[in-house]
Amino acid sequence: MLRITQQSSPDAAKQYYASADYYAEGQELVGRWGGEAAKMLGLEGPVSKREFNALCENRDPRTGDRLTPRTKDERTVGYDFTWSVPKSVSLLYALTEDQQVLAAFRDSVHETMRDIETEMRARVRKDGRNEERVTGNLAYGEFVHFTSRPVQGVPDPQLHAHCFVFNATFDAEEQQWKAGQFRDLKRDAPYWQAAFRVRLANRLQALGYALDRKRDDFEIAGVAPATIRRFSRRTDKIEELARERGIEDPEAKGRLGALSRERKDKTLSWAELTREWDGRLTPPERKAILEARGRQGNGPVPERGDAAAVEFAVRHVFEREAVVPEKRLLAEALKHGLGTVTGEGIRHEYARRPLLVKERDALQRKRAGGCVQAAACPSTRS
């Protein structure tokens, strides 16, 4: 899944780096820089505390000078793009330490972050204009974690990555650094999430892992729901608190989780944690996880279903609405075709439908991002 969180406190933002100082214990990996804007600032490879803190304070890490024109008390420092895998994938990695699984996750995150980067924008106010310009660059620190927040002092396996994107992008036309515009990136979170899931699912299948689809998500085949539930204590705690308070909204549950979480505990080593997790498993459960990779062998990914997925999305989305955002349609196609489609295939299939593309392009001239009208697809009309 993907969660995008705004951060307005420089001191709080600095904790993304500070919390990674015990990566050698196995619960986290040292941060790495990502994004074209980071390269422009001379930031590549491992994240250093000095560089990270400089950007938190809106300073150029090379010179110490102010980066974007305004540094206000309530300035947005950046946005945390948190990418998480299904629980069975977290459990699989924790007990096997299959580095190809970790690589599949990180590659899927990096590719989706590159897609997001291409849509980064900045405001244009020069010469009386009031619009936005695509800059196509951003700077972020990626921090990979392997555990959830503790419950009663002990965390569960949870492979996830915090990509902390700083509120700075370079406007090449005006030759200056500006605050970024994140509104549309946040709006399109369901699409980015679907694109990430499709990439991860395809990579895991290519490694020989069979998948069980769960609505618009998946789990590793053979890992029983009861096993997954036993290692989801943090989720269970949040759901219990939400029921007690009558909270149903997902975003409200997310805020509740932030308020109720325990502090990270550095006293347990990775070896101690894996022994504790292994002790929760029955012999059949342990066998199912350890033998998951061989369940389907290393055969090819299932036959592509891009056309069928797009057709389903068109019918499904336009059942009740006549005009929808383009990325909502693409997200529905990706979710429906999970495990049998690629992002490139979905976009190609969508683009080859000339009536849809014509409507999209006409509306994009009015506002970047575009929408699609139901009338553009005759199959949705009687």
Q: Are residues 239 and 327 in the same domain?
A: no
| Integer angstrom CA distances of residue 352 from 292, 306, 314, 323, 345 | 38, 12, 14, 19, 11
Q: How confident is the model at residue 365 (pLDDT cuts 50, 70, 90)?
A: very low
Tell whether 221 is covered by a domain. yes
Distance, CA of 165 to CA of 52 (rounded, Å): 11
Q: Tell me how far apart the terminal alpha carbons of the chain are, to the nearest angstrom.
A: 36
What is the CATH number for 176? 3.30.930.30
Tell whether 73 is covered by a domain. yes
Looking at 266, 295, 324, the residue that finishes a domain is 295
Q: Are residues 226 and 112 in the same domain?
A: yes
Tell me what the mean pLDDT of segment 9-20 comes to: 80
Closest by Cα among 203, 206, 205, 184 to 195: 203
Distance, CA of 246 to CA of 242 (rounded, Å): 6
Q: Which range of residues forms the domain containing residue 343?
A: 306-380
| Integer angstrom CA distances of residue 85 from 49, 157, 209, 280, 364 | 27, 11, 14, 21, 33
- Name residue 267's amino acid: T
Tell whether 31 is covered by a domain. yes
pLDDT digits (tens, 9 = 90+) for 151-206: 777 889 999 999 999 999 999 999 999 999 999 999 999 999 999 999 999 999 99
Could you tell me if 161 and 2 are in contact, meaning their C-beta atoms sit under 8 angstroms apart? no
Evaluate if residue 355 carries a pLDDT over 90: no
Tell whether 360 is covered by a domain. yes
Question: In the predicted model, what is the mean pLDDT of the chain?
Answer: 84
Evaluate if residue 236 carries a pLDDT over 70: no
Strand pairing partners for 162? 82, 143
Global pTM reads 0.86
Q: Are residues 341 and 290 in the same domain?
A: no
pLDDT digits (tens, 9 = 90+) for 249-279: 766 655 655 555 556 656 788 889 999 999 9
Measured over the CA atoms of residue 378, residue 341, residue 346 and residue 82, the dihedral's sign is positive
Q: Are residues 206 and 263 in the same domain?
A: yes
Concatenated DSSP letters of 104-168: HHHHHHHHHHHHHHTT-EEEE-GGG--EEEE-----EEEEEEEE---BTTBPPEEEEEEEEEES-
Q: Are residues 256 and 311 in the same domain?
A: no
HSE toward the beta carbon, residue 49, CA cutoff 13 A: 6
| Total tally of structural domains belonging to the chain | 2
Per-residue model confidence (pLDDT) at position 221: 93
Per-residue model confidence (pLDDT) at position 312: 92
Q: Are residues 233 and 146 in the same domain?
A: yes
pLDDT digits (tens, 9 = 90+) for 279-329: 999 999 999 999 998 765 444 555 679 999 999 998 888 887 878 889 999
Per-residue model confidence (pLDDT) at position 30: 81
In this structure, what DSSP letter does residue 365 have? Answer: T
